[in-house]
Amino acid sequence: MMATNAEGNDVTPETLPGSLAGEPVRRETLVSDSGTSYVTRFMDIEQLGGITFATIRQAQLSEDDNLEEFGHELGLMVDKFHLKQLILDLSRVQYMTSSAIGRLIAFHRRMNRDKGILVLCQVRGTVRDILSASQLLSYFRVADSRQQAVELIVASL
């Protein structure tokens, strides 16, 4: 079963964009009966049914990374693939700067504007502390596990 976007079009690895810097994006594709998986510079992405799971691979999201490209990758999920249900897994992220948080806030607004649902899941340690101190844990939908994130999405439909 191939993943589809909100318009019912197949989303295939061949439709993934390259990076902004013109360098090729490393792509590993696994297609199975349960869905499609692929890799971008910042994320491992799985599409299962109508829900997209994106796991951020970086331990830190800071100015040392190209946060503009990170924001662009997030935006492409909405603009190009018209995804409406996204679970962003932060389990590997140990630290993020205010600029990275700003990208998440902008992406959250974009998802809301397009009638989409964004859930942050497995927010831990310093990242949870930063979001809590900024009073953003109540701004975002936050789940402790992927299963809880799916339940939040289903309850929002």
List pLDDT tens digits, range 118-145. Answer: 999 999 999 999 999 999 999 999 999 9
Cβ proximity of 35 and 3 under 8 Å? yes
DSSP label of 10: B
* Nearest-angstrom CA–CA distance, 154 and 157: 5
Please give the backbone phi and psi of residue 88, each rounded to the nearest 5 degrees, phi first: -100, 110
* Nearest-angstrom CA–CA distance, 54 and 38: 10
Please give the backbone phi and psi of residue 78, each rounded to the nearest 5 degrees, phi first: -85, -50
Q: Any idea which architecture 13-156 has in CATH?
A: 2-Layer Sandwich (3.30)
pLDDT at 7: 47
Could you state, in order of their start, the residue ranges of all structural domains in the chain?
A: 13-156
Residue 135: how many other CB atoms lie within 10 Å: 8
> What is the pTM assigned to this prediction?
0.76
Q: How far apart are the first and last CA of the chain?
A: 23
pLDDT at 25: 39
pLDDT at 9: 46
Residues of the chain with pLDDT under 70: 1-35
- Report residue 122 as tokens: 């497995």
**Position 12, amino acid:** T
pLDDT at 34: 53
pLDDT at 1: 31
Residue 145: how many other CB atoms lie within 10 Å: 12
